[in-house]
Amino acid sequence: MIDAPSPPTASYAGLIVDWGGVLTSDINTSVRRWADRHSVDLGAYADIMRGWLGPEAELEAMVNPIHALERGEIEVPDFEELLARELSIRTGFMVSATGLLTRMFDEFEHAHDMNALVRRAREAGIRTALLSNSWGDFYPRDLWEGMFDTVVISGEVGLRKPDPTIFHLTLDRLELPASACVFVDDLAHNITAAADLGLVGVRHVGYDTTLAELQALFGVDLT
C-alpha cells in the first residue's frame, strides 16, 4: 500500500529500503522458526517485546533496551543478557544468553527476489540506500557490493527509525530531497514517519505488490 502526503507530482530518483522483513524473510515467520527450533517461549518473548516497545516504554536507554541496542548504546552481549534473564524469569526455564541473537538471525532468510529488485532499480539509474534499525551486525554485507549508493545502519550512526533525523541523514547521503525518494519498509509506523517528511512510503507485504508499486512510481520496468 502506497502512503504519500500528497499525490506524486515529481519524478522519483531515489529508493530507500529496510533490511529485516524486506530484504529478508518475514520477521514474524523468522522469529517463530527461531522460537520453535531453540525452545524459546514465543508468548513470553512477545510479552517482553510489547513491554519494551509499548507506549509506556517510550523512554530512554536505561529503560528501553531495544532503543538502546538499535542506537548502538548497548552492546549485543548486554542485550542478550537482559533478554535471556527476562525469558528465564517469565518461563521458569534457564535461557542461555550467549549467542541468543545469533541464533535468531540465523533464521532470517535472504529474500533473493527483493534483493534482485533493488539491484535492477540501481541499474536503471535509481539511487539506492539501505536504512535499517540494527540489532547488532548480522548483515550479509558481502552480498551488497554494487547494490547501494549508501548504507545507513542505526547502531553505527546513533539514530533509529522513526526518528526524522535518520531519514534526513539518509537523504543527505543520497543527495536527494525527500520529495524525490520512495521508502520501502514492513512496519507501518516507519512508513508514516517517512510520509510525514515528504517521502512516498510503500508498505512491504510481498514481492509482487512492492514490485508493482515501485514500477508505477518510478515509471520503469523493474522485472
Tens of pLDDT, residue by residue over 176-185, are 999 999 999 9
pLDDT digit string (tens) for 109-141?
999 999 999 999 999 999 999 999 999 999 999
Query: 83 vs 90, 97, 158, 219, CA distance in Å?
Result: 11, 8, 21, 45
Domains in the chain and their CATH numbers?
2-24+110-218 (3.40.50.1000), 27-105 (1.10.150)
The order of strands in the sheet holding 181-185 is 2-3, 200-203, 181-185, 14-17, 127-132, 150-153
Chain segment 93-113, per-residue pLDDT in tens: 999 999 999 999 999 999 999
Binned at pLDDT 50, 70 and 90, residue 153 comes out as very high
Strand partners, 182: 15, 200
Residue 58: band (very low, low, confident or very high) from pLDDT cuts 50, 70, 90: very low
Provide mean pLDDT across the span 37-62: 72
Q: Residue 202: name the closest of 92, 117, 88, 100 by CA.
A: 117
Q: Which residues pair with 2 in a beta bridge?
A: 202
